[in-house]
Amino acid sequence: METTDNVTGLTGDAAASTTPEWSAELATVLTGAAELARAAIAEFSGDETVGDYLGVGYEDPSSGTHRFLAELPGYQGWQWAVVVAGYPGADHATVSEVVLVPGPTALLAPQWVPWDQRVQPGDLSPGDLLAPLPDDPRLVPGFLASGDPQVDETAAEIGLGRRRVMSAWGRTEAAQRWHDGDYGPRAQMSQSTKRVCRDCGFFLPLAGSLGALFGVCGNELSADGHVVDFEYGCGAHSDTPAPAGGGSPMYDPYDDGVLDVSEQPAEPR
């Protein structure tokens, strides 16, 4: 008899052929235990919960697993798996266990993702606590405060006095993110102007190595408070010339003095 296991894709004969010490008599006993398996499910969960027979697979020479479609509310695509076993020379099989297992089309919960991999930029809300990972590659140990105000003041200016500071890797990663982000040279705003932040009066350079490429915009009408790339730019650059005349910089003023005014001919009586 050839039967198919929907999960493994093996047929009973194929599974048997992978087991050198397979006994043909016991194989017949195990394969023929399908109705025994169905009865075990009916006893366990009720006759109406067992659906179509799906086939049998073999784990080893003395046990097989019969599968049936599960007819249970909320278990669409699940299967009953009944393990039957027998000893060499046995004339009947016995039921070892009855379990529900997900089939290939079963509706399953999404795979669980640890919280630290679920948190995304922008998820942090007021009052939330978000500790860095123990081995966060963005951070490296800093130096402890010495207790000498003069030394500590100088140390704070150059970034010492904190338990951890950003690593070179963390700074490089941040720099790349800023460069590629909304205030980098490829942003739409930047592409629409030739003026760049590095020579703008509103540009406030960062301290440290990142100051070679980034600063903060201090123009409340533009990227106020955001880190901007040297090569970013906007139309509110401090060197942007004022528009000529009193109208819009996009259009010439409307002068109604140059219009010809003609009288409308009188209506014929």
**Interface residues toward ligand SF4, by CB under 6 A:** 195, 197, 200, 202-203, 217, 219, 222-223, 228, 232-234, 236-237
Nearest distance, CB of residue 220 and ligand SF4, angstroms? 9
Cα distances (angstroms) measured from residue 140 to each of 169, 207, 211:
10, 19, 20
Residue 32 or residue 205: which is nearer to ligand SF4 going by CB?
Answer: 205
Opening angle at CA 236, ends 235 and 237, nearest 5: 90
Q: Measured between alpha carbons, how far is 64 from 153 in angstroms, rounded to an integer?
A: 75
Tokens of 199: 């020579």
Nearest distance, CB of residue 184 and ligand SF4, angstroms? 11
Residue 194 or residue 269: which is nearer to ligand SF4 going by CB?
Answer: 194
Nearest distance, CB of residue 115 and ligand SF4, angstroms? 36
Q: Measured between alpha carbons, how far is 60 from 20 in angstroms, rounded to an integer?
A: 10
Beta carbons within 8 Å of 165's beta carbon, 6+ residues apart: 139, 140, 141, 142, 159
Tokens of 138: 């963005």
Nearest distance, CB of residue 180 and ligand SF4, angstroms? 17
Residue 93 or residue 197: which is nearer to ligand SF4 going by CB?
Answer: 197
Sequence-ordered strand ranges (E) for the chain: 50-60, 63-70, 78-85, 94-102, 139-141, 164-166, 203-205, 214-217, 227-229
Residue 78 or residue 202: which is nearer to ligand SF4 going by CB?
Answer: 202
Nearest distance, CB of residue 133 and ligand SF4, angstroms? 33
Residue 136 or residue 231: which is nearer to ligand SF4 going by CB?
Answer: 231
Residue 138 or residue 195: which is nearer to ligand SF4 going by CB?
Answer: 195
The sign one gets for the Cα dihedral 136, 139, 140, 142 is: negative
Nearest distance, CB of residue 129 and ligand SF4, angstroms? 33
